[in-house]
């Protein structure tokens, strides 16, 4: 199990996000934050 806090990702809260893999963690974060994958533009 992998656990990371939103502050570790540059967020402002202490809430923890846990998942069995980094891919699952990304999916859970997208579901929590809403929307799909984000694309970088202007690069």
Sequence-ordered list of residues with C-beta below 8 angstroms from that of 25, at least 6 positions apart, any chain: 2, 4, 17, 18, 19
Identify the pLDDT of residue 40: 47
Residue 43 belongs to some domain of the structure: no
Q: What is the mean pLDDT of each run of 10 residues along the chain (43 residues)?
A: 83 85 80 59 52
The token pair at 30 is 């997208």
Domain encompassing residue 23 = 2-33
Residue 20 belongs to some domain of the structure: yes
Please tell me the pTM assigned to this model: 0.46
Residue 7 belongs to some domain of the structure: yes
The total number of structural domains in the chain stands at 1
Identify the pLDDT of residue 42: 55
Identify the pLDDT of residue 43: 44
d(CA 17, CA 2): 8
Per-residue DSSP letter, 17: E
Residue 10 belongs to some domain of the structure: yes
């Amino acid at each position: 199990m992998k656990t990371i806090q939103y502050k570790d990702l540059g967020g402002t809260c202490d809430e923890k996000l846990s998942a069995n893999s980094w891919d699952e963690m990304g999916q859970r974060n997208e579901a929590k934050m809403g929307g799909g994958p984000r694309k970088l533009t202007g690069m």
